[in-house]
């Protein structure tokens, strides 16, 4: 793997700089290696890097069909996700971009032919619905109506159906470009609708094998509209690239302003003279508190998150947003809270329970938010959330939508990453290191029941509502990226 630039530790900034002149494959490899080496870490840098890389990928060449583009993005995305599966922001961004592409493709289709939905009457109900799905709210402004939340459950329903179809059909339908195997037959129609290849494939089974299962076999009306569509689609295709690029730029802009958007609601949640407990250093939380500090006086108890994040925590407390050297975080700078007249009290992690009875609010920043409202955050967060629950102190989680991952926590242990034990015990302590298992978990899983409120750039939500937002932002067919098509 090529080192990005000489003389500087590779980071988000160096990666972004190198992105322009470099060949796309090299850039992909570079990002993969940076992710693997944890030289780009934390949700935001990962998200930005991924989005910028995908932008290059899309701009790389002319795309003959949206299907090709989706395939390409999926391939790149799969590699990136495999490089660092625990940085779920990477996968989230890939899914968002895929969503953009699908949306663009569908818009084209909708505008060119309204027949499409009816064209597959026999196929599962989803097809119709997904096609009608309105624009993916890449800008967040568009909140989709209820019906779209239904995508997830429906997908589950369709799986049995695909099972009933003959194996041969399945095999041919699952052509690599379009779709992950998990949401088998049903889900894939939706995304792939506009494409020639897809429809061609569907026709095949119909014609070739009379065994075709009832749903598919009954789609007799489809062939004609499809071919019509194909022609029109090719004309529209030229626009796809530009539109997708716009979509990704919107996404980048969202990443850029997400803190500001979240901070806008600060005054709705923080009142004067409050005592607020927060944990580790997070740009989002700092922006939120800073916004409130402009108007109100309160006290912040800052838990330092030893041993993984205490240095950045201390530096955030003392220096605010001034980062040293080429830090991977963005260029944003902000004044430390203390300079705004906010009293900040630093405590070690162990003092959380002792102080919790006097707190008014706990504000946490997640690493990733899962679809059921639970979250992954820096180690120590679950203790804080539990203590808050015990003392009936509300726990508020500030998270950009990009941290929202469509993953359900079936196995929470595997989402926890383990860090360098040298941060706990110096390696000079040879014997100790040798004989004692020193374990340094980096993340904690915080259950949804411990969280009282999520504040995202869309506003405030109950944890139980998050699955809706997930459904609004990710296509069912994109949820499983890791599978080999």
Where along the sequence are the contacts to other proteins (CB under 8 A)? 273-275, 297, 299, 305-308, 310-311, 314-315, 317-319, 322, 324-325, 336-355, 357-358, 360, 378-380, 382-383, 386-387, 390, 413, 416, 423-425, 431-432, 435-441, 444-445
Q: Which two tokens stand for residue 377?
A: 């955050």
User: Among candidates 326, 381, 262, which has minimal Cα distance to 16?
Assistant: 326
CB of 337 vs other proteins, minimal distance in Å: 8
User: Which own/partner pairs from 166-172 qualify as long-range (CB within 8 Å, at least 24 positions apart)?
Assistant: 166/205, 166/209, 166/211, 166/212, 166/213, 168/205, 168/209, 168/211, 169/205, 169/209, 169/211, 169/212, 169/213, 169/216, 172/201, 172/204, 172/205
Task: Identify the CA nearest to 247 among candidates 131, 111, 91, 98.
Answer: 98
Smallest distance from other proteins to CB 189, Å: 42
| Shortest separation between residue 333's beta carbon and other proteins, angstroms | 8
The nearer residue to other proteins, 285 or 387, going by C-beta atoms, is: 387
Q: Which burial class, exposed, middle or buried, applies to 164 when counting CB atoms under 10 A from its CB (0-12, 13-18, 19+)? A: exposed
Q: Which is nearer to other proteins, 135 or 346 (CB)?
A: 346
Using the Cα atoms of residue 350, residue 353, residue 357 and residue 360 in order, give the sign of their dihedral: positive
CB of 320 to other proteins, least distance (A): 9
Residue with tokens 């239904």: 150
Name the minimum Å distance from CB 464 to other proteins.
21
Q: Is 364 helix (H, G, I), strand (E, B) or coil?
A: strand
> Which residue, 131 or 376, is less far from other proteins as judged by CB?
376
Nearer to other proteins, 221 or 347 (CB): 347
Q: How far is the CB of 259 from other proteins (least distance, A)?
A: 20
Distance of closest approach, residue 456 Cβ to other proteins, in angstroms: 24
Q: How far is the CB of 404 from other proteins (least distance, A)?
A: 22
Residue number with CB closer to other proteins (228 or 391):
391
Q: Least distance (Å) from other proteins to the CB of residue 93?
A: 28
Tell me whether residue 85 or residue 441 sits nearer to other proteins (CB atom): 441
Cα-Cα-Cα-Cα dihedral sign, residues 362, 368, 373, 374: negative
Q: How far is the CB of 415 from other proteins (least distance, A)?
A: 12
Question: How many Cα neighbours within 13 Å face the side chain of 86?
Answer: 25
Distance CA 345, CA 354 (A): 14
* Residues 6 or more apart in contact with residue 305 via CB below 8 angstroms: 279, 280, 313, 349, 378, 379, 380
Quote the radius of gyration of the chain (alpha carbons, Å): 24
Distance CA(402)–CA(367), nearest Å, equals: 10
- Strand 366-370 to 404-405 pairing: parallel
By beta-carbon proximity to other proteins, the closer residue of 244 and 381 is 381
Let me know: does 275 contact 301? Beta carbons within 8 Å. Answer: yes
- Which of residues 193 and 415 has its CB atom nearest to other proteins in the complex? 415
Task: Pick the closer one to other proteins by CB: 37 or 249.
Answer: 37
Q: Which residues contact 474 (CB under 8 A, 6 or more apart)?
A: 92, 95, 96, 99, 406
203 versus 360: smaller Cβ distance to other proteins: 360
């Amino acid at each position: 793997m090529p080192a990005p630039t000489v003389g500087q530790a590779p980071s988000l900034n160096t990666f972004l700089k190198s992105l322009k002149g470099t060949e796309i494959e090299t850039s992909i490899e570079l990002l993969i290696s940076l992710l693997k080496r944890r030289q780009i870490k934390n949700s935001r840098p990962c998200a930005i890097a991924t989005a910028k890389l995908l932008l290059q990928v899309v701009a790389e060449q002319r795309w003959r069909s949206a299907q090709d583009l989706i395939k390409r993005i999926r391939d790149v995305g799969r590699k990136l996700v495999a490089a660092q599966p625990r940085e779920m922001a990477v996968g989230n961004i890939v899914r968002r971009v895929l969503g953009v592409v699908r949306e663009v493709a569908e818009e084209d289709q909708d505008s060119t032919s309204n027949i499409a939905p009816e064209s597959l009457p026999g196929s599962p109900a989803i097809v119709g619905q997904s096609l009608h799905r309105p624009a993916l709210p890449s800008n967040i402004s568009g909140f989709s109506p209820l019906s779209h939340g239904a995508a997830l459950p429906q997908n589950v329903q369709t799986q049995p159906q695909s099972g009933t179809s003959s194996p041969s059909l399945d095999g041919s339908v699952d052509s690599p470009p379009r779709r992950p195997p998990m949401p088998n037959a049903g889900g894939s129609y939706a995304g792939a609708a506009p494409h020639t290849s897809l429809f061609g494939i569907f026709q095949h089974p119909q014609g070739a094998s009379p065994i075709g299962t009832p749903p598919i076999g009954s789609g007799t009306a489809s062939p004609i509209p499809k071919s019509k569509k194909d022609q029109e689609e090719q004309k529209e295709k030229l626009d796809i690239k530009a539109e997708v690029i716009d979509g990704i730029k919107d996404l980048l802009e969202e990443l850029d302003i997400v803190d500001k958007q979240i901070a806008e609601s600060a005054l709705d949640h923080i009142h004067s003279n409050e005592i607020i407990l927060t944990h580790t250093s997070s740009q989002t939380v700092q922006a939120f508190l800073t916004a409130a500090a402009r108007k109100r006086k309160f006290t912040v108890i800052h838990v330092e998150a030893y041993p993984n994040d205490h240095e950045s925590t201390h530096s955030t407390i003392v220096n605010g947003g001034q980062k040293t050297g080429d830090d991977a975080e963005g260029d944003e700078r902000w004044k430390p809270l203390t300079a705004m007249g906010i009293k900040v009290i630093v405590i070690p992690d162990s003092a959380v329970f002792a102080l919790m009875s006097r707190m008014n609010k706990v504000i946490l920043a997640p690493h990733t938010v899962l679809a059921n409202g639970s979250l992954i955050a820096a180690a120590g967060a679950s203790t804080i959330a539990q203590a808050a629950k015990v003392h009936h102190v509300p726990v508020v989680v500030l998270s950009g939508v990009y941290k929202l991952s469509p993953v359900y926590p079936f196995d929470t242990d595997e989402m926890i990453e383990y860090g360098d034990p040298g941060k706990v015990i110096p390696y000079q302590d040879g014997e100790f290191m040798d004989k004692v298992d020193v374990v340094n978990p980096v993340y904690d899983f915080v259950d949804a029941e411990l969280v009282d409120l999520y504040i995202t750039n869309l506003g405030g939500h109950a944890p139980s509502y998050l699955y809706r937002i997930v459904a609004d932002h990710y296509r069912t067919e994109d949820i499983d990226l890791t599978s080999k098509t």
